[in-house]
Structure 1
Amino acid sequence: MSKLLIKNAKELVTCKGRGPKAGERMNELEIIADGALKIEDGIITQVGKTDEIVSKIDEEEFEVIDASGQSVLPGFVDSHTHLVFGGYRADEFNWRVQGKTYTEIMERGGGIINSVDSTRRASQADLKAAAQKRLDSMLSFGVTTVEGKSGYGLNLETELKQLQVMEEINQEHAVDIISTFLGAHSIPDEYEDTSDFVEYLIEEVMPVIVDEVDVDFCDVFCEQGVFSVNEAREILLAGQKLGLKSKLHADEIAQLGGAELAAEIGAVSADHLLKASEQGIKRMAESGTVGVLLPITAFSLKEEYAQGRYMIDNELPVALATDFNPGSCYSESIPLLIALATLYMELTIEEAITALTINGAAAIDKSDQVGSLEVGKRGDLVILDAPSYTHLAYHIGVNSVDKVVKDGEVVVN
């Protein structure tokens, strides 16, 4: 039995709760001063004051980390990424800097289809090697659980290839990957009629995907010029029949009604939400759907940020995620994410931490396993090179992570 003891933490930020948290509860971090916790066989078995825990055990039986003067938090959960892809799109970033719009970039041959071509050509081994390096970087920022989407295949062969890569890496890498099928990410060049592509996904792709790989969610890019609300509903309900929980790219570019659809079908999360209506936000709050906000994408695209402050004030449980992808957001930086959320989306640092831990876990339906430091949950945590969690925002854009523990094992030291 592996045993790990963390003791003498200046503050143990537990983020206690089964999630998701909404409204004022997002400010409640449940902090224990001079805190300690025990992890045995990867599971947290005790949390409390150092003297209470240490007095009842033989420390020689444990690997011990003295966290004096440090802040200890749950491992971060990045609940929206596109981490498996081929090629890069640096030229598109330069076009954006020059003032070209998303539509203009697509007309130049950029956009999602560019990554689709590269990913279709890439070998499974090359995709795996690149994704592993990206996960190493994410882990260094304190991310211990990540959601990964397919969506750069738009055909059975490549969508399956992306998901197989995630399944393989999940068995080998410290970071846990929750897989999402995003076959409805764009409309491939070989289809002129969107309805034909929707039929292809539902009839020919999704049943095979569910049979061949371990996948948790179905997602759709519900947006003007991509998939309509009705088409998204059809795909997501078909996914639910196959046992796939629903996620949704919603109301990023235009107010299409994606937030309302997410609430209607009981989606676990709706993501982006830059243009979400007040009614859509209200309905999501009532349904318990988590709003996943992606401020680095808005920053990269020079768009207005989602109304994070308004959403929290209106009882919508909010999560934060990077949206790491090769086009609109080539960044896995948790420090940048926190800086943008606090400085430009008006979240408190406490709300941002909740959004990256217990609410991030809720956005992938794993808040019963990860996202907080509680007895019975997995031993995933971050130890900061700082005396307070507030340094995550205060030390702007700098990685404050000293150590990362995953399933009770030190994986970054």
Structure 2
Amino acid sequence: MRRIRADLVISNCNQIITLAGKCPRRGKEMRELGIVEKGWIAVKGEKIVFVGGEKEFREEVEVHCKTKWIDCEGKVCLPGLVDSHNHLPFAGERVDEFKMKLEGASYMEIAERGGGIKKTVGMTSEISKEDLKKITLQRIKKMISQGTTTSEAKSGYGFFLETEVKQLEAVKEISPISPITLIPTFLAHDIPSEYSGKREEYIKYLENEVLPEIKKRKLARFFDIFCEKGVFDLEESRRLIKKAKELGFEIKMHADEFTSLGGAELAIENGARSCDHLLEISKDGIKALGRSNTCAVLMPSVPFFLKTKKYAPAREILEANGIVALGTDLNPGSSMNYSMLFTLQLAVFEMGLLPEEAITAGTINSAYALGEEWDRGSIEKGKKADLLILDIPSYIYIFYELGTNPIEKVIKEGKIMEV
């Protein structure tokens, strides 16, 4: 038998959390991590070519003088984490608002003082594309240090074509040098004040100008819409989703975050890859998720950051056989969170997921939520070598030892990264 030639070998892993096999995972399947103890991994180029025990490794894998070795004795190897909901390319911060919130200011009080989403829209409109690219790359460095190797990157802080294009072009232009894989999404985020009282005109503007131009320039894979009371209602959302699908976009949705409008059902009706947030999802919506292939992307750092104490009903969705994934929802107003590790921990302590379920939700199921499950999210032969080496003896320490970062090394598509 001809042996496989390896460029990188990871040896003696106390645990390899492979998550090999079925994808996406539902119900009790989410507790099955596919652990290989005392395992070895071989990588050739960007891809994994071997996962298994030392005996099989010696028989099947060939090393050469330039093969790199990582001794993982007493440590854990985990798939790179996947952030399936992230508003990455925005300008500025809103730390002043954060302080006001902590002091008791309401959303309306902050808005009356010039804050809120429109402040970020203004800063993002004013910044140059080159400066936006620099800021985005700085954020990406923080994300990879916390184990994220693949992330969504939403626009939505432009409202108008010029700034939406600037956001998405920034993502496209940094992608070749980004240390993480970026999946671009065009988000219809809100109705701008310039169209107050002229909602129909803005819907037509999105239909006839913005969506076609973004598709023509090949700037986004997904279309997302904020379906919510006071933003885009169900019929407006349905109409824009229909247009996006006609143009060839895949669909994601912000749904049922503040009010139970039936956003989850609309997402399922349209074959959306995911519906996100879901703090106010109805019982019927939960049942519908369990019968569908639409993924529930949950972001526990949002209610944590906002101190609302109400979290999405993760356990109910799981028990209904729904697909659950996780994201940071990185944004300047409601979740300035770069860390998928922290997100996994919050999912356990605040949403009631088991550690195994949280890991599954933040890896293979999040890869599914971004349409990347064939390449990423698990440690399997033929997949991209996106791997984390954690200086802990068992995966359970991710949740047991808080306030530390156990990530010792990040490997992205076979390359050992500096973090």
More displaced, 281-290 or 145-154? 281-290
More displaced, 187-196 or 73-82? 187-196
The separation in 2 between residues aligned to 1:336 and 1:302, in whole angstroms, is: 16
- Residue 119 of structure 2 is aligned with which of 114, 120, 134? 114
Residue by residue, what CA displacement relative to the aligned partner does 1:135-193 show, whole Å, maximum 9, x if unpaired? 011001111100010000011100000000000111111200000001x1011111122
Cα distance change on mapping 1:285 and 1:397 into 2, 3 Å: farther
The separation in 1 between residues aligned to 2:48 and 2:8, in whole angstroms, is: 9
- SS of the aligned residue for 2:301 comes to helix
The separation in 2 between residues aligned to 1:196 and 1:103, in whole angstroms, is: 26
Deviation at 1:107, TM superposition (A): 3.6
| Contact 1:368–1:377, Cα closer than 8 Å, also in 2 | yes
The separation in 2 between residues aligned to 1:335 and 1:378, in whole angstroms, is: 21
- The corresponding residue for 1:89 is 94
Does 1:313 pair with 2:319? Answer: yes
- The corresponding residue for 1:4 is 8
| Contact 2:256–2:262, Cα closer than 8 Å, also in 1 | yes
Which amino acid is 2:270 matched to? I
- SS of the aligned residue for 1:60 comes to coil
The separation in 1 between residues aligned to 2:7 and 2:287, in whole angstroms, is: 45
Residue by residue, what CA displacement relative to the aligned partner does 1:270-301 show, whole Å, maximum 9, x if unpaired? 00000111111111221211000000011111
- The corresponding residue for 2:387 is 381
The separation in 2 between residues aligned to 1:71 and 1:151, in whole angstroms, is: 37
Residue by residue, what CA displacement relative to the aligned partner does 1:192-211 show, whole Å, maximum 9, x if unpaired? 22221111011011111111
- Residue 207 of structure 1 is aligned with which of 212, 215, 233? 212
Does 1:102 pair with 2:110? Answer: no
> Percent identity among equivalent residues?
43
The separation in 1 between residues aligned to 2:272 and 2:116, in whole angstroms, is: 26
Residue by residue, what CA displacement relative to the aligned partner does 1:77-101 show, whole Å, maximum 9, x if unpaired? 0010011111211122122212233
Moved over 4 A (4+): none
Where do residues 13-412 of structure 1 align in structure 2 (5 Å cutoff)? 13-61=17-65, 62-182=67-187, 184-192=188-196, 193-303=198-308, 304-412=310-418
Normalising to structure 2: TM-score of the pair?
Answer: 0.96
Deviation at 1:18, TM superposition (A): 4.9
The separation in 1 between residues aligned to 2:179 and 2:37, in whole angstroms, is: 29
| Contact 2:76–2:389, Cα closer than 8 Å, also in 1 | yes
The separation in 1 between residues aligned to 2:318 and 2:84, in whole angstroms, is: 18
| Contact 2:328–2:339, Cα closer than 8 Å, also in 1 | yes
Which amino acid is 1:38 matched to? A
Over aligned residue pairs, what C-alpha RMSD do you find? 1.4
| Contact 2:7–2:63, Cα closer than 8 Å, also in 1 | no
| Contact 1:29–1:350, Cα closer than 8 Å, also in 2 | yes
Cα distance change on mapping 1:108 and 1:380 into 2, 3 Å: same
- SS of the aligned residue for 1:174 comes to coil
| Runs (5+) with no aligned partner, structure 1 | none
Deviation at 1:402, TM superposition (A): 0.6
Normalising to structure 1: TM-score of the pair?
Answer: 0.97
| Contact 1:82–1:323, Cα closer than 8 Å, also in 2 | yes
- SS of the aligned residue for 1:24 comes to helix
| Count of residue pairs the alignment pairs up | 412
Deviation at 1:311, TM superposition (A): 1.1
Residue by residue, what CA displacement relative to the aligned partner does 1:351-400 show, whole Å, maximum 9, x if unpaired? 00000100000000111110000111101010101111111111113211
- SS of the aligned residue for 1:172 comes to coil
Deviation at 1:59, TM superposition (A): 3.0
Deviation at 1:46, TM superposition (A): 1.3
Residue by residue, what CA displacement relative to the aligned partner does 1:215-259 show, whole Å, maximum 9, x if unpaired? 110000111110001111111121111111000001111111111
The separation in 2 between residues aligned to 1:105 and 1:232, in whole angstroms, is: 27
Cα distance change on mapping 1:388 and 1:206 into 2, 3 Å: same
The separation in 2 between residues aligned to 1:103 and 1:398, in whole angstroms, is: 37
Cα distance change on mapping 1:2 and 1:162 into 2, 3 Å: farther
